Amino acid sequence: MQSKGMSVKTHKIIKMSKYLVLVFVLLCLCNMSVAMEIKKTYIIHMAKSQMPATFDDHTHWYDSSLKSVSESAEMLYVYKNVVNGFSARLTAQEAESLESQPGILSVLPELKYELHTTRTPSFLGLEKSADFFPESDAMGDVIVGVLDTGVWPERKSFDDTGFGPIPASWKGQCESGTNFSSAKCNRKLVGARYFSRGYETTLGPIDESEESKSPRDDDGHGTHTASTAAGSIVQGANLLGYASGTARGMANRARVAVYKVCWEGGCFSSDILAAMDKAIDDNVDVLSLSLGGGTSDYYKDSVAIGAFAAMEKGILVSCSAGNGGPGPFSLSNVAPWITTVGAGTLDRDFPAYVSLGNGKNFSGVSLYAGDSLPNKMLPFVYAGNASNVTNGNLCMTGTLIPEKVKGKIVLCDRGINARVQKGSVVKAAGGAGMILANTDANGEELVADAHLLPATAVGQKTGDAIKKYLTSDPNPTATILFGGTKVGVEPSPVVAAFSSRGPNSITPEILKPDIIAPGVNILAGWTGAVGPTGLEEDDRRVEFNIISGTSMSCPHVSGLAALLKGAHPEWSPAAIRSALMTTAYTAYKNGEALLDIATGKPSTPFDHGAGHVDPISAANPGLIYDINADDYLNFICALKYTPSQINTLARRNFTCDSSKKYSVADLNYPSFAVSFPAAGSDGSNTIKYSRTLTNVGPAGTYKVTVSSTSSSVKIIVEPETLSFTRMNEKKSYTVSFTAPSMSSTTNVFGRIEWSDGKHVVSSPVAISQT
């Protein structure tokens, strides 16, 4: 019955509204149903000891557990070394159901990781290394595993001339696939594998017309990192005439095994874990991973989980710190059983000068090697004034007006899109050249690029001065002159602005990064699939390329670790890292402190860790801080992880002793990070750390010295003298840090050094407030 006063038209409108609401609700329910059915990849960690007696094989148990929640789900990978468990595609509901079953420790969603994208041997002193790292057969027995974008095996960096038989310990393979056959491996490149199941189940099948479904490197990053770590000696290496000389990896006599885990769409944790699992089976000695994916608790971090298993097998794992600097807390790969590497500069530069119409000249950097600009001053324009969009200053695709840039030099601001792409945009619009100016985000840091047109990059201050000229002169003009390769640049090294910084956001008591190594403008091998810029329109092909990132510094340390492994086969991963850290330097030869290019001021342990790597000193460190798996388990107990969380990480049952007081401060780490509670909070003003040193040199007596940037924190080492009478003898000491009061904004830095007059065993100290 129609309500009084309501028209038929109104009644129809109400009926229609109710109908639309019903349709909307049904659509929402449908969408919710679809959402519940969306599948993602999960990594399932199993408690191996809880396998029911009805199963005689763990794989059958895993499969049965999976089928109990999904008849259609299939295992992507079964892991046996890095994880007790498997990976599979599941809905959120299926994952939740699986996690509640007996024997399941955790069901963790897959994470996506990203790549952290020669003068170096000479800069590190390796041309004088024959006495420290003799060309022995032991070096040829060391195998460096590189997880990256694959390899371009035809490069001379992987030439096996002069190499003996492949070590009998090697159990790996050379897998065939798109554009790659097993015959591509040799006595240098001993193995090549690829892992794509996790990637393909998330992003769909690899387009094999665009990307090789094989160990073939179509990107360049993997060839660069592998050749940096352990590339063979190549005479006459250069990029377009720049950086000419002899290229060699850090451990040029070591073998290389590549594990392709990164594709156009990223690197997925299920694939990374599978590669680490296989690398352990294959018997690599060092694992190098120039990739990262943020930070999370160690039992949730696939790289940390895989690295723990590798560490237990005696494999050193070296990872890039990340390119998130210069902000604090920007690190990735911070687990204490990982060697975390930041980036510094070399003493080599590629100057390219800007000459302005007002007679002023400024210095920038460039790797441009094409036709020179006309021998005259050219019209000069700011990109922001040659565009009809608000962010035209950034020279993004399609934003420049050709009529306003044709035949001119264009000033573009750095940011958002790739540096080399900005030049490509200027060139496409008819511009004659480009000056790329840094903004606040990058300050004075200069990274050289193989631009597609005459171009140079300048720092922020220079950019501001050039912009001032552009706005004040009614007819501005400019030109660019290229200075080639310059060596002996001082000061060097300086900490790169992009290099990620501490403190460690997961465990503040563990100082990260551990160390820095060369990571700016590094020359190494390159793919034959793309040009040096990686841009589609770049049809140049080069044997070597110059690129920058902690991705480049990481394989330097991986290769140096291989050198130390060859010289000291008995050393553990922690011993090798200790040798690299305690011999690192934090001052130039003139005594001045290492600089941070982001600030122009002295860098701190949060920037450089223990300092810049010094491989010659690392070969003979005198004393080392050793750590074994049980020490790390005690450290995990100090973090108060649950039994299932510990099992997820350690792959076995381990019960923390309830009667024992575990302390994060007691992990035998070669550095000291001290976090005092905030002013006014409860807690002791004295924090005590304990350490144990192992003698790996001659007998001797070591005396301690302590230095600090502030007297506000008292640092006392007891005892002050340690005497060693034999090789492998161990001696312990304690350090007490006392802070009557700390300003909430004050960090205090220092060093603790033990010396016998010949060796200096140095540890950085970073004191902050939580």
pLDDT on residue 129: 52
Indicate if 221 belongs to the active site: yes
Instruction: Specify the pLDDT at position 34.
Output: 42
pLDDT in the model for residue 32: 44
pLDDT at 4: 33
Instruction: Report how far residue 448's alpha carbon sits from residue 443's, in angstroms, rounded to the nearest whole number.
Output: 15
| Residue from 45, 116, 221, 608 carrying the catalytic annotation | 221
**pLDDT score, position 207:** 94
- What does the pLDDT read at residue 2? 34
Q: What is the pTM of this model?
A: 0.91
- How far is the C-alpha of 767 from the C-alpha of 312, rounded, in Å? 31
- Determine the longest span between alpha carbons in the chain, in angstroms: 107
pLDDT tens digits along 318-358? 999 999 989 999 999 999 999 999 999 999 999 999 999 99
Choosing from 63, 141, 148, 756, the catalytic residue is 148
DSSP string, 537-567: T-----SEEEE-SHHHHHHHHHHHHHHHHHH
pLDDT at position 33 is 44
Q: Which residues pair with 39 in a beta bridge?
A: 91
Give pLDDT < 50 ranges for the chain. 1-36, 118-121, 123-124, 130, 680, 682-683
Strands 721-724 and 348-349: unpaired
Where does residue 629 rank: exposed (0-12), middle (13-18), buried (19+ CB within 10 A)?
A: middle
Q: Which two tokens stand for residue 113?
A: 């990781």
Q: Which of 302, 551, 553, 768 is catalytic?
A: 551
B/e letters for 110-121, b = 16+ CB within 10 Å, e = fewer, are bbebbbbbbbbb
Instruction: State residue 741's pLDDT score.
Output: 62
Task: Classify residue 631 as left (phi > 0), alpha (psi -120 to 50) or beta.
Answer: alpha
Active site residue 551: yes
The residue type at 729: E
Residue 75 contacts residue 67 (beta carbons within 8 Å)? no
Which domains does the chain possess?
38-108 (3.30.70.80), 111-342+491-617 (3.40.50.200), 350-480 (3.50.30.30), 621-626+667-767 (2.60.40.2310)
Q: Give the E-state strand segments of 430-573 in sequence order.
A: 433-437, 455-458, 477-482, 486-487, 494-495, 515-518, 522-525, 544-547
Instruction: Please name the helix (run of DSSP H) or strand (run of DSSP E) that holds residue 199, with its range, or none.
Output: helix 197-203
Cα 562 to Cα 569: distance, rounded to the nearest angstrom: 10
Question: Annotated catalytic, 214?
Answer: no
Q: How far from 82 is each of 313, 315, 647, CA to CA, in Å?
A: 10, 12, 12
